[in-house]
Each structure stands twice: as C-alpha cells, then as structure tokens.
Structure 1
Amino acid sequence: MAALQRVPLVLLACGSFNPITNQHMRLFELARDHMQSTGQYRVVSGIVSPVSDGYAKPGLVAAEHRIAMAKLALQTSDWVDVDEWESRRPDWTETAVAMRYHHGQILKEYERSRSSTSSQSVPPQLKLLCGADFLSTFKIPGLWRDEHIEEVLGRFGLVCVGRGALQPEHLVHESDALWRHRHNIFQVKEWVRNETSATEVRRALRRGCSVKYLVPDSVIEYVKRHDLYTEDSERRNQGKALGPLALKTRPESLDD
C-alpha cells in the first residue's frame, strides 16, 4: 500500500502587527510543529498579512511602517513571508475575503508548477493562523457575516494557539458556530507560555522602557529611527469608526 501523501499547507496570519512581536512569529513555529505532527499535513509556507490603514484602530501606525518592521523581523525565517496585498487596500478587508484572495494565489502557483513538472501532487490548502483571543470575535453579535463564518471555518479552517488563560477549547465549547466546525479547528497548546502583546510593547515604548527580547532588535532600531509609538501616535484614529463597523454600511463587493 502506498504511503498517504501529506497535504501541503499554507498558514495565513491576518492582523495589525502593530508592531510585530516575537510572539507573533512564535505562533507560526508552534502551528507548523502541531500540524505536521498530525501526519496529515506538510506545512510549506506561512504568510503575514498586516491590515490596511483603513482598519482605523486607535494607535495604528501607517501600513508602510508595519510592513517594513514585519519584513525586518522575518529576515531570519526561511518559510514565513510578508504579503502587502491587504495592507495596500484603502479599506479594511474582511478575513474571508483575504483568505479567498490568498487561496486563489496559492492555487494559481500550484497550477503553474503542476503544468511545468507534470506533477500529480495534492493541491495545497490554506488555514487561518490565530491566537485564542481571535475565536472570541465569533461571539460578537453582527461582527461576522453568516456566510463568512461558514467560509472561514468550514471551507478553510483555523489553527488556533492558546494564549495564557484563554484556551481554544473553552471558546469552541461556548460558541455554536465554532462547535459546528470543531473538526476543522486545530487547537495548539503552548507549553512555554509567552503572553507578550503588541499593546504592552507599544505602552512600554511610549514610556521609554526597554522592549528588548520582546521584539527583534531590527524592529527596535526601526522604531527608534522613525520615532514610532509615541503619545501622539497612540491618538491616531481616535474618533474614527473601526474598519469592520464602517464596512457594515457598504454592501459586499462580488469582485473581492
């Protein structure tokens, strides 16, 4: 009997990355180890996709800086890259739309490779990589379109890493939507706890405190060079509607 061929898997992380931290990058390593340990998948790449300025979250620095910091941080990775497509869009991009786009790009590359090598390999899959706090967003009434929940959870699936006291299994149990798709939600344990958050990093930077070993040195140098994360920058977008809320006033484009 032929050995079961592992499914190539791409991990996608969407978020502010304001700034990217060592913990953000650690999620990719944890997720790859877990998914490959199932014997079903072979993780082939990872994608960091920072949100656009249209997300309008208070304290969100310009996308050009967040992209630059992410690229600096990931210079040491041989499998995770930064993608600028989402960050360049004028408005906030819904998660399902971002996943749809990246999956399309992955399949195009697969078809090109297949036609040139005549390979009969298994098509790659895409899954959303997130922390446990992301799962709590599915409980917020009206935040997610019903069809997007089905697309993200059912069509693609999640790889979710526990964060401190917040563990995926509890959130899955408490949400009917998550429970329906529990077999497509891969829960990853982080045994070496690291609760570094970008929020705490920004707070420390505003106060002139050290963030060494919380973010890469290259990112710290970039922050200093461009004078990011000050009291003024934290007031950016105050009074603006958050991207997901502003998007609710517009119909979804079929071209997305």
Structure 2
Amino acid sequence: MNKVGLFGGSFDPIHLGHLRIAEEVRGHLGLETVFFVPTAVQPLKRGAATIPADERLRMIRMSIRGNPYFRASDMEIKRGGISYSIDTVRAYARRFDDLYFLVGVDAFSEIDLWKDWTELFRYTNFAVMVRPNHRTADLMKILPKGVQPEVKRIDSSTYEHVWGKRLHLFEITQLDISSTNIRSLVRQGRSIRYLVPDSVERFIKEKGLYKG
C-alpha cells in the first residue's frame, strides 16, 4: 500500500460532505487508502473542537465501516497537544512512498501560516479541493510568493514543485453541509438525518452530544 491520502480536520462531527470529498478525490487519484486524521487541537483554532477527541474518532470509525478504502487514524490524538500537519505528514512519509494531502482551497490559501509549511512540499503531494464555479482557477494566484518560483504548471489542474511533488486542483461536488450547522441543528432539537451517516446520528442522540 503506497498511494495514500491524508484527510485531516476536527470532524466535529464527521458528515456526508467529508465522506463524499474523500470518495471523489480517491477516485480521481486512484488512491489505495484515505486516512481520516482527526486533530487533537487545531493550531489555528485552538480549543475549537466541542467534544472529546475519542468521541470524534469513534464517529469516524462508524462512518467508514464497510468501506475498504477508508481508514481512521488516531495518530494526532495519541500524540496530544496541538496537531501540526507537518508532524503527521513526516510520520506517514516514513511508511508510504506516495502521499496526497487533502485540503480545501481556503485552507490552502493560508498554508504559509502553518508550521514548517515549506517542508510539506518535500514530503507530500496536494489534492486541493474547490467548489463548483469557485473563483480560483489557478493555484499560482494563491500560492505564497516565496514558493511560486518553485512551482510550475503542468496542465489546467496540475502543478509540480521543484522537489517533484505535485499539486492537483479538484472541483468537488458541492454539498452544503457543515459541522457547525449540524451542531446548531442538534442544539435546536432539529433533525440531522441525511446530513450525517445514520450511525453517527444515533450516536449523537444516545450520547447527548452537542446539546450544550
């Protein structure tokens, strides 16, 4: 198993939009596995997760059960503290030859705020996801100026860093679902059916999550 994707986030909770993103990128790139990597503490949103990490991890595991291409990773949770992408990427690069880091275009546009961000291009390829009709059609326009000379455009959606890692721009199916909205619906006592997997909906109800 060599060609794998890393999909990080708080997943608070995981929802059908997350799963669809992973499925589309996996299909486009022919990934053998996509690892869902829930953060312990996000560096740019410290304390943002509203429920314990182990419960977020459990919801991921129940969401992907039966899918041979998806796996849950507890690496950042076990590590504890602030979750830095570079630490996770380095760890996975020691295990797999061909990594792809899944990231939305908005987060990618702030990559220069990440810890040791230039080193990411040494260890992983990127799958940068945009919504249909998004204004960003050229990654060069949002790459930090310091790295722009190191990246060349291969075709309309593919770029290559001088270290050999590639950046792929993907238009994904737009599902207007967000974890923030799901938490709000739960607080209001409204239905979240068809926004999350059935198993996650039951788990949230049974545990009384997101009520406060």
TM-score of the pair, normalised by structure 1: 0.69
- Please tell me the residue identity of whatever aligns with 2:169: Q
Task: Describe the SS at the equivalent of 1:46.
Answer: strand
Distance 2:203 2:74 in 1: 18
Distance 1:18 1:165 in 2: 27
Q: 2:180 aligns with which of 199, 208, 219?
A: 199
After TM superposition, give the deviation of residue 77 of structure 1 in Å.
Answer: 1.2
After TM superposition, give the deviation of residue 83 of structure 1 in Å.
Answer: 0.8
The 3 A distance-change label for structure 1 pair 138 and 23 is: same
1:1-256 correspondence to structure 2 within 5 Å: 8-36=2-30, 43-53=31-41, 56-106=46-96, 124-138=97-111, 143-145=113-115, 148-163=116-131, 166=134, 169=137, 172-175=140-143, 176-177=145-146, 179=148, 180-181=150-151, 182-183=159-160, 184-190=166-172, 192-231=173-212
- Confirm or deny: 8 A CA contact 2:93 2:123 kept in the other structure: no
| Larger fraction in helix | 1
- Please tell me the residue identity of whatever aligns with 1:150: T
- Confirm or deny: 8 A CA contact 2:187 2:210 kept in the other structure: yes
Distance 1:198 1:159 in 2: 21
- Please tell me the residue identity of whatever aligns with 1:26: R
Misfit runs of 4+, over 6 Å: none
- Please tell me the residue identity of whatever aligns with 2:32: V
Stretches of structure 2 lacking an aligned partner (at least 5 in a row):
152-158, 161-165
Distance 1:172 1:61 in 2: 37
The 3 A distance-change label for structure 1 pair 44 and 85 is: same
Distance 1:172 1:84 in 2: 33
- Confirm or deny: 8 A CA contact 1:11 1:127 kept in the other structure: yes
| Equivalenced residues, count | 196
Kindly indicate whether structure 1 or structure 2 has the higher relative contact order, using CA contacts under 8 Å at least 6 residues apart: 1
| Larger fraction in strand | 2
Stretches of structure 1 lacking an aligned partner (at least 5 in a row):
1-6, 37-42, 107-123, 232-256
TM-score of the pair, normalised by structure 2: 0.82
After TM superposition, give the deviation of residue 199 of structure 1 in Å.
Answer: 1.1
